[in-house]
Amino acid sequence: MLTGSKVGLRARHAEDIPILRTELYDDVANAARAEGRPWRPMTPGSEDSRLVVDDKEQGHVPFSVVELEGGMLIGTANLWGIDNHSRSAHIGLGLLPSARGKGYGTDVVAVLCHYGFVVRGLHRLQIETLADNAAMLSSAEHNGFVREGVLRSSAWVMGEFLDEVLLGLLAHEWKPSVQA
């Protein structure tokens, strides 16, 4: 497990999936804001490609996020779109509603940076988030990410187009602050 000051990133366990599905993806408004594809209901018991881990998939590394104190599941984190040639990847996270506003997001981003830069040897990490996602913007910028641009009206979310902010961080700019 990779650890920060408040959270641990560990492998996804089968018992995590129903919790993550219910707390994150069955909430239509939340799921519509978090994903680049339209929400659709999933049949109970079916395999959910967003949550089930395919260990053969080398371009996507999903983690479950747990509180260090107590080990409770509080969300999901991902390194995705991994490009081994250009040594770059995207990061993303989703926290359960009960875990939001407690500083966990900033710690998750820090641990993902450690994983990307130290463990994987990547050169660049990137985040795309909705322009009104103040929590993610703050977590990214606290970890040294720089706003590189705005993708105007690029995300269709619940009946309207919203702007997305593109943030980037290069390995030599990163200032590690995690225990990992």
| Other C-beta atoms lying within 10 Å of the C-beta of residue 68 | 15
Helix (H) or strand (E) holding 128: strand 124-130
* pLDDT tens-digit series, residues 19-57: 888 888 888 888 888 887 787 777 776 676 666 666 677
Q: Is the pTM of this model over 0.85?
A: yes
Tell me what pLDDT residue 93 has.
96
177 and 3 in contact (C-beta within 8 Å)? Answer: no
Could you give the C-alpha distances from 85 to 81, 89, 109, 169, in angstroms and in order?
Answer: 12, 11, 23, 17
Per DSSP, the three-state class of 103 is coil
**Rounded average pLDDT over 6-15:** 94
Place 59 in a pLDDT band, splitting at 50, 70 and 90.
confident
Q: Give the integer Cα–Cα distance in Å for 2 and 18.
A: 23
Query: Which amino acid, residue 37?
Result: R
Task: Report whether pLDDT(105) > 60.
Answer: yes
Question: Domains in the chain, ordered, with CATH?
Answer: 2-123 (3.40.630.30)
